[in-house]
Amino acid sequence: MILITRPVEDAIYLQQRLRSLNIESLMEPLFVLQPLWFDVAELIAAKIVVSSKNAIRALTWAKASRDLQLYTMSDNIAEFAIFSRFSNVVSCGCGTANELEAYVLSHFSKDEKVIYLSGAEITRDIVSSCLERGFKSVERRICYMMCPVKEFSSNVYAALMRRNISGVILLSVQAAVLCKSLFLKYGISPNFFSYFVMSPRIASTLSCDTVYVSSVPTLDALVDVIERHYYVERKT
């Protein structure tokens, strides 16, 4: 069984893909979304750059105008924004924050008003890079934070005690750090599991014996890695 450490609404796709491979899974969000207040009026007439679905959720929570100019990092986030009834959405078609930064630098005018809408923690300071290159009006607005859980749910705890879980999906450095600390809290060695991650940075954070990294940072590539290695690990 594989533990999916994503919010339920984001984990459903992974669970469905794993089920098609006859791989059981449990969904266990390690962080809880906490929207933060911000002045949505400041977003009007600006190009709004978002790199996560949580920023879209925060916009919805804040009752922001549905015709804001949204530029999402990926097609997946763009689809979610449209599903959330935002009508003016452009996908930058990027897979990483570095690629998103390059897109903004090459496609946006230095005279335009640009706002990077993000969570409290980011992996790339896009705003500073833009300002260093002469952009006149680029700002960051923090619209949410992710609050870590303090313990596993009863279902996951029971599965861990029965040793039913042999693999873990981790999609951020923060999730990797928290997951390891929770395992240690329950007296479980992190090295007992195989980990499936989307970046070498997450893998290096884990520093565990068995970590598989997808070739590109997409969910489909991650599922491909799981398909290649999960049953092999189960047999060894």
Coil, strand or helix at 8: helix
Q: Domain 33-147 maps to which CATH number in 3.40.50.10090, 1.10.287.110, 3.40.50.1580, 3.40.190.10?
A: 3.40.50.10090
Q: Is the per-residue pLDDT at 219 higher than 90?
A: no
Task: Map residue 212 onto helix, strand or coil.
Answer: strand
CA distance 132 to 122: 18
Question: What are the pLDDT digits (tens) for 158-179?
Answer: 999 999 999 999 998 999 999 9
What the block records as the tokens of 178 is 């928290």
Closest C-alpha to 196, from 172, 169, 235, 164: 169
pLDDT value at 200 more than 70: yes
Do the domains at 2-30+149-233 and 33-147 have one common CATH topology?
yes
pLDDT-derived band at 8 (thresholds 50, 70, 90) equals: confident
The residues that bridge with 212 in the sheet, in sequence order, are 196
58: Cβ–Cβ under 8 A, 6 or more apart, which residues? 33, 35, 36, 38, 117, 143, 144
Give pLDDT tens digits for 71-81.
999 998 999 99
Per-residue pLDDT tens for 124-161? 899 999 999 999 999 999 999 999 999 999 999 999 99
Q: What is the pLDDT of residue 235?
A: 47
Q: Is residue 196 predicted with pLDDT exceeding 50? A: yes
Domain 2-30+149-233 has CATH 3.40.50.10090: yes
Query: What is the percent of the chain with per-residue pLDDT over 90, rounded to a whole number?
Result: 83
pLDDT at 209 over 90: no
Q: Kindly report whether the global pTM for this prediction surpasses the value 0.85.
A: no
b (16+ CB within 10 A) / e for 32-56: ebebeebebeebeebbbbbbbbbbb
**Whether residue 229 has pLDDT greater than 70:** yes
Is 234 a residue whose pLDDT tops 80?
Answer: no
> Where are the domains positioned within the chain?
2-30+149-233, 33-147
The answer to whether 205 and 177 have CB atoms below 8 angstroms apart is: yes
Burial pattern 98-117, b for ≥16 Cβ within 10 A else e, equals ebbbebbbeebeeeebbbbb
**Nearest to residue 33, comparing CAs of 56, 1, 49, 63?**
56
The confidence score (pLDDT) of residue 230 equals: 85
Residue 122: band (very low, low, confident or very high) from pLDDT cuts 50, 70, 90: confident
Q: Across all residues in the chain, what is the average pLDDT?
A: 92
Q: Report strand pairing: 25-27 vs 2-4.
A: parallel
Range 80-98 average pLDDT: 94
Average the pLDDT over 9-27 and give the result.
91
pLDDT, average across residues 76-92: 95
Of the candidates 48, 2, 50, which has an alpha carbon nearest to the alpha carbon of residue 25?
2
Other CB atoms closer than 10 Å to residue 132's CB: what's the count? 10
According to the model, what pLDDT value does residue 232 have? Answer: 58
